[in-house]
């Protein structure tokens, strides 16, 4: 079993390996939404069946199928309570870091992080040896710090979720609703990741509830 095998099964659905780490003689691998994930999801039955939580259900079907083929255990951020410690897992991969605003940033996805699930394999799979550095360390402009119109995300205080959601209810907040969080969009790494506005709008609707 290799990570290449996992990637080969994940890529047709637009998923990619966001990182992995060894724990208690096992290997845990995180799968996230890549650039091709949104078109793949839109073609799926879950997208248009009118039932709740379409992306979560799609993720479980796709990743669960990979787990069955490879003999792995699967888990998902939406499972709970109690919820699996996905933030801790992400940081243990050493490919996720804390941005100045407190949100996690990924070396490839920037702030456009959408972890869809995790696979746990028995034994120690070979992981990438060349680990990336925190992209925020070389970001001189730090546009994420000043991007939030209501300072809900800031380096001076924790994420103020009520302020963020209240802003999304008014006219000035509709740009965030339609195109995604301005803080996430400001990140230079996020810009290179090229998430579609349509996908970001879907996540914003889900977030707002």
* pLDDT tens string 41-51: 999 999 999 99
Name the more confident of 39 and 208: 39
- To the nearest whole percent, how much of the chain has pLDDT over 70? 100
Mean pLDDT of the region 140-150? 96
Q: How many Å apart are CA 75 and CA 197, to the nearest integer?
A: 28
Q: How many Å apart are CA 190 and CA 109, to the nearest integer?
A: 6
- Asked whether 183 and 103 are in contact (CB, 8 A), the reply is yes
Provide DSSP, 83-120: TP-HHHHHHHTTSEEE-TTSSEEETTTBT---EEEEEE
pLDDT band at 5 (very low <50, low <70, confident <90, very high): very high
pTM over 0.85: yes
Contact residues for 119 (Cβ-Cβ < 8 A; gap 6+) = 6, 28, 29, 31, 63, 66, 67, 70, 72, 73, 74
* pLDDT tens string 11-21: 999 999 999 99
Contact residues for 52 (Cβ-Cβ < 8 A; gap 6+) = none
What is the DSSP-derived secondary structure letter of residue 22? E
- Which pLDDT score, from 0 to 100, does residue 40 have? 97
pLDDT band at 129 (very low <50, low <70, confident <90, very high): confident
Copy the structure tokens of residue 193: 């990741």
Task: Please state whether the peptide bond connecting residue 162 to the residue before it is cis, i.e. omega within 30 degrees of 0.
Answer: no
Copy the structure tokens of residue 42: 């839109």
Total structural domains in the chain?
Answer: 1
* pLDDT tens string 178-197: 999 999 999 999 999 989 99
Range of the domain at 168: 3-208
78 closest CA partner among 98, 58, 92, 94:
58
54 closest CA partner among 41, 67, 66, 65:
41
- Which pLDDT score, from 0 to 100, does residue 131 have? 87
- Which pLDDT score, from 0 to 100, does residue 105 have? 98
């Amino acid at each position: 079993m290799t990570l290449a095998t996992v990637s080969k099964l994940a890529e047709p659905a637009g998923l990619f390996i966001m990182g992995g780490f060894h724990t208690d003689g096992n290997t845990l691998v995180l799968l996230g939404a890549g650039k091709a994930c949104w078109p793949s999801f839109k073609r799926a039955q879950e997208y248009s069946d009118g039932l709740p939580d379409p992306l979560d259900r799609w993720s479980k079907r796709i990743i669960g199928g990979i787990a069955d083929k490879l003999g792995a255990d699967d888990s998902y951020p939406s499972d709970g309570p109690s919820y699996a410690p996905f933030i801790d897992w992400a940081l243990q991969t050493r490919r996720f870091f804390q941005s100045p605003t407190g949100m996690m940033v990924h070396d490839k996805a920037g702030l456009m992080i959408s972890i869809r699930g995790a696979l746990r394999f028995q034994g120690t799979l070979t992981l990438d040896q060349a680990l990336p550095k925190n992209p925020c360390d070389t970001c001189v402009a730090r546009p994420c710090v000043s991007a939030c119109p209501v300072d809900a995300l800031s380096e001076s205080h924790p994420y103020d979720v009520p302020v963020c959601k209240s802003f999304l209810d008014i006219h000035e907040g509709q740009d965030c609703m339609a195109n995604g969080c301005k803080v996430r969009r400001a990140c230079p790494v996020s810009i290179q990741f090229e998430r579609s506005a349509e996908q970001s709008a879907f996540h914003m609707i889900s977030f707002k509830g």
